[in-house]
Structure formats: structure tokens, C-alpha cells
Chain A
Amino acid sequence: MIHDMQPEFIKGEYQEATLELYGGIRRRVLYNESEIPYPDGKLIVSTTDPEGIITHVNQSFVDMSGYTEAELIGAPHSILRHPDMPSAAFKDLWDTVNRGDKWQGFVKNLRKDGAYYWVKATVIPNVRQGKVVGYTSVRRKPSRTKVEESIKLYSAMIQQERA
């Protein structure tokens, strides 16, 4: 289950966008320019079912996303989707894991309070008795150099997508 973002949870001024998410879901998101630094030494871990619905989150996920565990479990992973992320990045992610391969990339995630945080994400299929039963995603602290490169790359990709 995923809802539009609500202004009462957003700190300070914000912008608004409507995202077209996987599965034909439309979501109104509210976001600002406040970056939350990724904490040292921690990993954000989550698992989803094969459709990308969250089935498990660790405490770091809860802390960084700003959502409660109850709000996250059962929601699509795209609850973190930031409008500055190009659709092509997620298409590449899904194409890769659907082939049974690991995907790795840098992602700008949107928090419940409209702020954002950058991660280096790795997603792998969970294979049990030869069947994909879900996906595990592990996020770690990215290097600033890689984040700067990603900002430029994603901005160019978004311009292309809108052209």
C-alpha cells in the first residue's frame, strides 16, 4: 500500500511532483533540498517479494527513511523513489535482477519528511530451491565522488526522458 505524501510531514518549504511508479501506480511526492548524511558503519537492509513489495526492513532502514516499520512492510519499494532519479535506472535494476543477476548503483532516496539521502545499493535475487522468492537490497555509504558523478549523469538522463 502506498499513499501520496502529506504536507504535514514535510519540514520547511517543498516542491511537488507526480511519479509514475512500477505497476501503474501514480504517487504525489513532496521534496526539499535537505540532505541527510548516510551514517558511518551501517547497512540499510530490506527484502521484497518478487513484485517489489517490502517484506522485511532493518532498523537502519526505518531510521533513514523516516517511515515506521508498519508503514514500510507491505508497501512497494518505490515508496523511496525520488523525482531526481531517472526511470531508466530502475528499469535497468529490474531488467538485471529479472535475469537473475546482481544490480549495483547509486540511488537518491526520498524520505517521509521530504529530505533525501544517497546510497550505494546492491540488489540480488533470493533463490530458494531454484526459484526467485524475492530480492534483498543492501545499501551502504557511497563516496562523495560517485554521488557527484551520479548527480550529473541522472540529471542528463532525466532531461533525455523528458525531451
Chain B
Amino acid sequence: MTFKFTVSPDFTPDHLSGWYIFNTWLQKQTDSAIHLEIYNDFQLQREAIAHDQIDLIYANPFDAAMLVREKGFMPLVKPQGESDEAIIAVNADSAIQCVTDLKPGTRVSYTDDPDVRLMGMIMLEPGDLDVGNIQGVPCDTYILVAKHLLQGDADVGIFLAEAYDDLSEMIKKRLRILVRSQIGVIHHSLMIGPKLKDKKELFEKCLLKMAEETKGGGVLESLGFKGWEKVDEEEMEFMIDLMDTLNV
């Protein structure tokens, strides 16, 4: 039987080949046939999950609740020392100095990355902004979020902190950070579905040893990770509860 693996569509484009290399490594280590399917957007990926077509997923925290509570997925591991953080930035020449300077009607550029947009909108709340009184400027990539700020088509942009930090120095010089989140407990996780339940321990064992292994270390490097750390079910439940509170 061939299992299907997918990766949250918000991965850094530089790491696309890394996920294919990871899948090859994982198949060899676990002696399992796994096909990696990359979806271009969250909607297509969610449809595949809804139709029980996915068995293994590197999931966005926003989707974790649905995966655990509706689809019976279990957490395996998360990237060591990594968490999802968001940044609110403006054009460096903008008169806006803090979130409370913002007014209803503010043009906000963002991508469809759901957890980052949620964290970003929470950071805009102190300025009395919400989805009902901003002008959304949806973008396909974080480069485009930056571009809208530089061209003056948007007043503020919501970035994944990692994506902002990876922007070129030239672009960053022309932008200014208003707020950087320091939440620390929201993270992507590799999760295993019901059809792979019997192999959970094997997968976990291989992944936790990956950084010490000669080939495994190189594969992790291609993903931009130092290693994996275990996520137990209570830690996942805690993150799901936390995401629930942020969704209110």
C-alpha cells in the first residue's frame, strides 16, 4: 500500500527539494511506500484531508485541531527549537510608529498562511482593527507582501517572521518592524494519520535519531532544521486549545 504525505503549503520555496529528499529518506528508514503530494494552496490540501487521502502531514498549527479532532491524526515531532512567529511591518518612511496609530480602513497585505494571519490580526487589535474594518490586500507570497508596502499599495504587512528575516537586506532596509510576536508555543508538526497508526513508534524512533545519522543530518539541513523533537498528545492538545482561544 502506498501512503500519501503532504506538506503545509506555507513552506519556504527554497526547501521544496528538501521535502522530496526527506520523503526518500523516510521511505528507506521505515520501509514504507510514501508518495509526496504538494498542494499549491490550503484549500486543495484541506479537500484532500477531508476525503481521507492524506496519511502523513507536516501541518500548519491552524489545521492541527481538525486533523486531531476530526480525522484522528496523532502528533509525531516538531522541528527542534522552532516556533511560528509573526511580524507586522510598514514602509520605513511611513508615519505610522506603532499599532495604535492605525485607523479603520488601513490597507493590510497578507498571504493565505492561516496561523500567521491570525497572529498578525491579533497584533493589530490594540489599534481597534479587525477583519471587518481593514482593507485586505491578499498576496501569494511574502515577497509580494513586502512589494505592496514598498509601492505604497498597503499600509501594513503581516509576515511569517522567518520569511521576513529571509528578505534581502536591501528590502529590509526599506521596511520597518512595528511588532514581532513572541508566542513561542505555536509550531508546525509532523502528524501521522489513522492508516499509519501501527507504524507510529517506528516513525518516531527514526525521526528522533535523524540528526545523529550521517545521511539524516544532510536531509535535515536541506529542510533548514537542526533536528526533530517529540510532540506528545497533551502538548498538541494544549496548542489546539491555545489556537482555539486565538480564533475567538
Residues of A within 8 A of B (CB): 38, 40-43, 45, 47, 58, 60, 102, 104, 120, 122-124, 126, 128, 136-138, 140-146
Contacts and interface: CB of A to CB of B under 8 A. Distances in A.
A138 B123 contact: no
Given A42-B183, A102-B248, A142-B125, A124 B241 contact: yes
A45 B242 contact: yes
B14 to A, nearest CB: 26
B11 interface: no
Contacts of A138: 242, 245-246
A136 B247 CA distance: 14
A124 B185 CA distance: 17
9 tightest CB-CB pairs across the interface, nearest first?
A: A122-B245, A138-B245, A41-B181, A136-B241, A143-B128, A40-B179, A141-B126, A41-B179, A122-B248
B125 A141 contact: yes
A148 B175 CA distance: 32
Interface of B: 98-100, 122-123, 125-128, 179-185, 237-238, 241-242, 244-246, 248
B184 A58 contact: yes
Given A40-B179, A42-B182, A45-B185, A104 B126 contact: no
Contacts, number: 63
Contacts of B185: 45, 58
Contacts of B181: 41-42
20 contacts: A38-B126, A41-B179, A41-B181, A41-B183, A45-B242, A47-B238, A58-B184, A102-B244, A122-B248, A124-B241, A126-B241, A128-B237, A137-B245, A138-B242, A138-B246, A140-B125, A141-B126, A142-B125, A144-B126, A145-B128
A116 B73 CA distance: 42
Contact of A143 (B127, B241, B245): B127
Give the interface centre of A40, A120, A137, A145 by most chain B CB atoms within 10 Å.
A40
A120 B158 CA distance: 21
A136 B123 contact: no
Contact of A124 (B122, B184, B245): B245
Nearest to A139: B245
Contacts of B245: 102, 122-124, 136-138
Give the interface centre of A102, A104, A138 by most chain B CB atoms within 10 Å.
A138
Give the interface centre of B128, B179, B182, B245 by most chain A CB atoms within 10 Å.
B245
B123 A41 contact: yes
A34 B246 CA distance: 28
Give the interface centre of A38, A120, A140 by most chain B CB atoms within 10 Å.
A140
Nearest to B180: A41
